[in-house]
Each structure stands twice: as C-alpha cells, then as structure tokens.
C-alpha cells in the first residue's frame, strides 16, 4: 500500500471537503447558507471595494470638485453601471441629468426621509439587524441566501412604485453592502434609491429611533 499514486490522498481530502460543504450547507439556516450557483446580488466590478469612492462627497450630485480618477463620479448619473473604462467618455459629457437612480444621502436627509415615511432597507447581516436597526427598517442582508424572499415580502407589504424613494443603509464607512443591494434593486426597476452613507452608527450617534429584534 506504500506506493499509492501521489494524487489519490490529496484528491480524497478535497472530496471529503466538498461532501462536508454540501451537507453542512444543506443543513444550515438561511442566514448561514450560500447558493452554490452564485450570489443574490450582482457582484459587478463597479461596486467593488476598490472602485467605489471612500469619501462620502464623491457620489453626491452637488460635489464641488470633480474627481475623475474614481469610477463613480457625478457623471455616474447617466448610467448606473459605469465601468472604469467608461470614465473618459463620461468626462466629455458636459451636462449631468438632474436625477440619479442611486444617490448617497446624509444623516440629515435620511432623518427627513424617515419622518416622511420612506421605507428603509437594512443591508447588513441578519445577526447585526437583530442586535439593533433603524426603527421600522426591513432586514435585507445581501450576503444571505434568503435575500430574494425578504425583498419579496418587503415589496408585498409596501408595494413600492419604481419612482418611490427607498433608503438603503449598512454600517457606513467603507461598507459596500448597501451599494450591492442598490445595484440589485436598480436591476429590478427601482429608480429612486437613496444610500444612507454613514449608515447605522451615525443614526445611533444622532439619537434617532432604533429597534431590536425582528420588525
């Protein structure tokens, strides 16, 4: 038995790992499960951690200084899925449309939206949502397998029109989960998506209403 082919045992280890992964994923709760075929959100390069701006002002339509070294600039308003290569072309367009389907908003604007009854979607993990979330927000964790079901129940309950505003947030800073969810909703035909840039920590810091547990 000492001269077993050299690849048999490494392959057996890999096979064991695949079998265990299949079984554990089958038995996992929706919050811990992953779809083998792919993610529920479009993981396009335009939403990658690298290409998105880290400064809040860069996506604001009223940004004072144009920064074209980043893929997402005010000119992003023309097309939501601007690829890095599309920036030189976008630079030549002098006018930007007044309305952007995905727009970042400040804490103050988020508070105004909250007071006017705009629905809030929480893109963070469901465990974070349970620990605390913006009052009345819907849990729509982008990395969890039941995202589509959760979005369906949100749509069934609120029946948002394609032009109705929806606020999306995560943990602020360089968190990309809200951007991923916005890209998904844009693909589903929603054109008034407000990204609450500073997210839940800023909301808590301002002392605005929060809830714990399920909505």
Q: Provide the binding-site residues for other proteins, judged by CB under 8 A.
A: 9-10, 12-14, 16-18, 20-22, 24-25, 28, 31-39, 43, 45, 48-50, 54, 125, 141, 143-145, 171, 173-174
Q: How many CA atoms lie within 13 A of 177 on its CB side?
A: 24
Closer residue to other proteins, CB minimum distance, 122 or 144 = 144
Q: How many CA atoms lie within 13 A of 89 on its CB side?
A: 8
Closer residue to other proteins, CB minimum distance, 34 or 63 = 34
We find the least distance from the C-beta atom of residue 64 to other proteins, in angstroms, to be: 24
Closer residue to other proteins, CB minimum distance, 16 or 205 = 16
Cα–Cα dist 133/169, whole Å = 10
- Name the burial class of residue 42, with classes exposed (0-12), middle (13-18) and buried (19+) by CB atoms within 10 angstroms of its CB: middle
We find the least distance from the C-beta atom of residue 48 to other proteins, in angstroms, to be: 5
| E strands, 40-177, in order | 102-105, 120-122, 133-134, 138-139, 166-169
We find the least distance from the C-beta atom of residue 98 to other proteins, in angstroms, to be: 33
We find the least distance from the C-beta atom of residue 211 to other proteins, in angstroms, to be: 22
């Amino acid at each position: 038995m000492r001269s077993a082919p050299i690849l048999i045992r490494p392959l057996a280890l890999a096979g064991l790992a695949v079998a265990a992964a299949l079984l554990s994923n089958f038995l996992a709760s929706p919050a811990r499960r992953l779809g083998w075929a792919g993610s529920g959100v479009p993981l396009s390069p335009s939403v990658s951690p690298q290409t998105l701006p880290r400064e809040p002002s860069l996506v604001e339509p009223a940004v004072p200084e144009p920064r074209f070294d980043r893929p997402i600039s005010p000119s992003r308003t023309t097309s939501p899925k601007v690829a890095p290569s599309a920036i030189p072309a976008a630079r030549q367009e002098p006018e930007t449309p007044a309305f952007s389907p995905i727009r970042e908003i400040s804490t103050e604007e988020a508070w105004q939206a909250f007071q006017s009854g705009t629905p809030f979607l929480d893109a963070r993990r469901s465990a974070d949502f349970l620990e605390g979330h913006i009052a009345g927000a819907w849990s729509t964790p982008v990395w969890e397998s039941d995202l589509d079901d959760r979005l369906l129940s949100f749509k069934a309950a609120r029946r948002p029109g394609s032009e109705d505003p929806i606020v999306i947030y995560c943990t602020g800073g360089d968190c990309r989960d809200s951007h991923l969810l916005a890209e998904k909703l844009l693909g589903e035909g929603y054109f008034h998506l407000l990204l609450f840039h500073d997210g839940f920590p800023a909301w808590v810091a301002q002392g605005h209403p929060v809830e714990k547990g399920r909505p």
